[in-house]
Amino acid sequence: MISTTALPPAKMPRPEPNKRRRLLQTAGAVAFWVVVWQVAAATLGYGGLFLTSPLGTLEALARLLPTADFWHRIAFSALRILAGFLLAVVFGALLGAASARWKLVRILFNPVMQLIRAMPVASFVILALLWASSANLSVIVSFTHVLPVVYAGVAAGIADTDRQLIEMAKVYRLPLSRRLRYIWLPGIFPSFCESCAAAMGMCWKSGVSAEVIGLPDHSVGDALYRAKITLTTPDVFAWTLVIVLLSASLSAIATRLLRLARNCLCGEVRA
């Protein structure tokens, strides 16, 4: 009798106890640091002037949330930072693919990407202020910080693509569309997704830093700076918390969307 080995099904759910344990561990670690923060704020915070407590941060956030100005600033910064991110993803992907295909492109662009990676945000902001209005500063700065990350991610993904599958496609003379869909994209996606998730965090950091230096009106960076000069430390903490939450949630959304795109694009052959 022919043995057909019983294998786990393709979409086997992860064992729940492990997931729950990991969640509990993370929640425990977060709770530990919140307690440390609370104790530090109570002992060293000088009534919230130097270090606001977690509760003080939440109170400040609750005060900011219902105001139109808060949402206006979030929309202003998010639109520009995400525009820079999306532009960088498109250009980074195209340049990364071109550099993997043509050596000349790689030789030309590798030093530029390394230079961009090494340059401090402040230098970029000052230069960008000479070239563009402060309102569009975060577009330029988030673009320049995301570009080398996506470029490197796509180039690495292409390098990691299975050479044996590429040979197979050559022998069977697969059309380019099928090679892209079923061989190149699945090869590139893991490293591309990873770089996009990392870049999403970076673009918020660099974008808000640029706004703090360039002070465009109605931006999150401007609000942070105002909170600093007026010594309203709880607002600084509240805005920082908002930026962290926005960055993390958008990073998670981007990763999910990319996974969905991969499953739709590379999952099934139209016979």
Partner 1 sequence: MIRIIGLCKTFDQGPRQPPLGEESPGKQVLADVCLAIDGPAVLMGPSGQGKTTLLRILMGLETPDAGRIEGLEGRRIAAMFQEDRLCPQLTAADNICLTGRGVTRAQAREELRALGFADADLKTPAGRLSGGQKRRAALLRALLCRGADLLLLDEPFTGMDDALVDRAAAAVVRLAAGRDTLLVTHDHAAARLLGWPVLTLDQN
70 C-beta neighbours (distance < 10 Å), count: 18
In contact, 52 and 232? CB cutoff 8 Å: no
Phi, psi of 74 (to 5 degrees): -60, -45
Residues 185-204 that bind partner 1 (CB under 8 A): 186
Q: By CB under 8 A, which span of 77-85, 116-124, 146-154, 176-184 interacts with partner 1?
A: 176-184
The Cα 120–Cα 163 span in angstroms is: 38
Q: Which of 120, 173, 177, 264 binds partner 1 (CB under 8 A)?
A: 173
Is residue 178 close enough to count as binding partner 1 by CB under 8 A?
yes
Q: Which of 127, 129, 135, 266 binds partner 1 (CB under 8 A)?
A: 266
Residues 133-172 that bind partner 1 (CB under 8 A): 164-165, 167-168, 170-172
Residue 66 or 175 having the CB closest to partner 1: 175
Residue 28 or 175 having the CB closest to partner 1: 175
Is residue 19 close enough to count as binding partner 1 by CB under 8 A?
no
- Number of helices and strands in the chain (H, E): 11, 0
Q: Roughly what angle, to the nearest 10 degrees, separates helices 121-131 and 185-214?
A: 70
In contact, 237 and 34? CB cutoff 8 Å: no
In terms of C-beta density within 10 A (0-12 exposed, 13-18 middle, 19 or more buried), how is residue 145 classed?
Answer: buried
Residue 4 CB, shortest distance to partner 1, in Å, is 5
Is residue 9 close enough to count as binding partner 1 by CB under 8 A?
yes
Residue 131 or 172 having the CB closest to partner 1: 172
Tokens of 94: 């195209």
Is residue 6 close enough to count as binding partner 1 by CB under 8 A?
yes
Contacting residues toward partner 1, per CB under 8 A:
1-10, 164-165, 167-168, 170-174, 178, 182-183, 186, 266-269, 271
